[in-house]
């Protein structure tokens, strides 16, 4: 059964997910080159994650040299330089941008736009109520058995839909172990905490030794059963995911799960898939949380290509997240109904291992709510009528009461 109600199809999405072109070639085309800068693109430099971080595009001039910007992008970049969520895009990720198409799904994720100044009903500065749920400095508790530790404010790329745009890039950088001591002590004093999410910012842009120390500190807390490492480095800075880093993570806390954030099949480059392979080969389970974004991945063909590509890369699609209502992101958010339509289109067409849950993280920090199509048609006298993904109606009979 073909997909219907498809509003936007990503050209070449299936091809990109299955047989990757080399993103470096795109980067050489897109990033400005002159005689002084040409040597930067030697293989040894390109593969160095520190070089990538140091040569990130952080201002309008860098973007203007790399891309044919629209007026809306110029305005957005000028405003971002003055206030709010700053600009930072690694050469690698900037190289994935189509240099002339403003509707490129990578550009929409990382290039500021004038629409960021538009406020819409429901916009929130802190959509998940994290400040109200901070139980110790840099430590957030919204569920009884888990906490989130904000380890740094820095990322390889500042995504324009970031739920923590209020604090990322604030100049604080990686939090020192001394600054995190109250958070560790709070966790130690609360044996009901079994799960710690290490987030930011992106903890993988910290030094390997700093991240390892943090994980070892958590390993020393007996009731913490596992740690989740939330990172977009495999997507935006895959050079960072070295064998050294992967083994350091595994050795520092062997119950670490990596939670990454691929949003489009174009992000599944050779480099990104190799980074995922290094994590999997090191024994690190990798899960993916895709954010549903208008004009990026809000059609079933793109999502199917993404989810299949992730499974091929040994990454389990975990959540499809309704985008948080962060101020200035209304142009990127989809209606709730669209996510439900997309899940209905994918159900039965995509293996269960490749199909994530559709989740809304409720405003105010009250917790995540799974939503999706309703396949239960009616219930009467122990007989339930179900609708299959093909639209067939089937009766299911409950067993007699004993």
Give how far Cα 296 sits from Cα of 175, 177, 316, Å: 33, 38, 20
> Which residue is catalytic, options 10, 104, 110, 159?
159
> Which residue is catalytic, options 79, 108, 113, 142?
142
CA–chain centroid gap for 392, Å, is 36
> Which residue is catalytic, options 153, 298, 299, 361?
361
Is 162 catalytic? The answer is yes
Query: Angle at which helices 208-219 and 177-188 pack, to 10 degrees?
Result: 20
- Answer for the pair 341, 378: CB distance below 8 angstroms, yes or no: no
CA–chain centroid gap for 396, Å, is 39
| Bridge partners for 383 per DSSP | 380, 397
Is 29 catalytic? The answer is no
Is 338 catalytic? The answer is no
Is 155 catalytic? The answer is yes
Is 153 catalytic? The answer is no
Strand order in the sheet with 139-143: 134-136, 139-143, 146-150, 195-199, 226-230, 256-260, 286-292, 316-322, 357-361, 368-371
Task: Tell me 81's DSSP state.
Answer: H
Task: Tell me 398's DSSP state.
Answer: P
> Which residue is catalytic, options 8, 74, 146, 210?
146
Is 110 catalytic? The answer is no
DSSP string, 24-79: HHHHHHHS---TTTGGGGSHHHHT-HHHHHHT-B-SHHHHHHHS---HHHHHHHHH
Is residue 92 classed as helix, strand or coil in its secondary structure?
A: helix
> Which residue is catalytic, options 79, 266, 324, 333?
324
> Which residue is catalytic, options 107, 154, 164, 333?
164
Residue ranges in 85-176 assigned as alpha helix (H): 91-94, 105-110
Beta strand ranges found along 139-280 (DSSP E): 139-143, 146-150, 195-199, 226-230, 256-260
Rounded CA separation 10/300 (Å): 10
Is 121 catalytic? The answer is no
Is 276 catalytic? The answer is no
Residue ranges in 98-220 assigned as alpha helix (H): 105-110, 177-188, 208-219
> Which residue is catalytic, options 48, 143, 213, 357?
143
> Which residue is catalytic, options 10, 97, 155, 246?
155
Looking at the annotation, which residues are catalytic?
142-143, 146, 155, 159, 162, 164, 324, 361, 368
């Amino acid at each position: 059964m073909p997909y219907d109600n498809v509003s936007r199809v990503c050209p070449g999405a299936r091809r990109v997910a299955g047989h990757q072109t080399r993103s470096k070639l795109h980067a050489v085309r897109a990033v400005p080159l002159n005689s002084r800068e040409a040597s930067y693109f030697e293989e040894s430099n390109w593969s160095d994650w520190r070089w990538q971080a140091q040569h990130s595009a952080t201002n309008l001039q860098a973007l203007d040299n790399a891309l044919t910007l629209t007026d809306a992008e110029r305005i957005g970049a000028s405003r971002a330089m003055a206030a709010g969520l700053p600009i930072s895009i690694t050469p690698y990720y900037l190289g994935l941008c189509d240099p002339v198409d403003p509707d490129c799904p990578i550009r929409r994720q990382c290039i500021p736009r004038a629409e960021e100044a538009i406020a819409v009903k429901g916009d929130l500065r802190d959509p998940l109520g994290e400040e109200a749920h901070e139980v110790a400095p840099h430590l957030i508790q919204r569920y009884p058995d888990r906490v989130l530790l904000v380890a740094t404010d820095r990322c390889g790329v500042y995504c324009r839909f970031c739920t923590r745009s209020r604090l990322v890039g604030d100049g604080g950088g990686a939090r020192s172990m001394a600054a995190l001591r109250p958070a560790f002590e709070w966790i130690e004093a609360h044996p009901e905490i079994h799960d710690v999410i290490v987030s930011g910012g992106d903890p993988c842009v910290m030094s390997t030794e700093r991240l390892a120390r943090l994980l070892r500190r958590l390993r020393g807390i007996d009731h913490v059963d596992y740690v989740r490492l939330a990172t977009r480095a495999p997507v935006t800075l895959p050079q960072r995911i070295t064998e050294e880093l992967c083994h350091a993570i595994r050795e520092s806390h062997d119950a670490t799960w990596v939670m990454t954030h691929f949003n489009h099949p174009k992000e599944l480059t050779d480099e990104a898939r190799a980074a995922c392979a290094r994590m999997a080969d090191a024994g690190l389970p990798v899960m993916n949380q895709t954010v549903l974004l208008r004009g990026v991945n809000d059609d079933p063909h793109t999502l199917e290509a993404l989810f299949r590509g992730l499974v091929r890369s040994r990454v389990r699609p975990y959540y499809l997240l309704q985008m948080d209502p962060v101020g200035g992101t209304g142009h990127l958010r989809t209606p709730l109904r669209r996510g439900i339509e997309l899940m209905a289109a994918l159900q039965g067409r995509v293996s269960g291992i490749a199909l994530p849950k559709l989740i809304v993280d409720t405003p105010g920090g009250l917790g995540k709510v799974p939503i999706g199509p309703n396949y239960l048609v009616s219930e009467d006298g122990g007989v339930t009528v179900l609708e299959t993904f093909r639209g067939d109606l089937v009766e299911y009979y409950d067993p007699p009461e004993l």
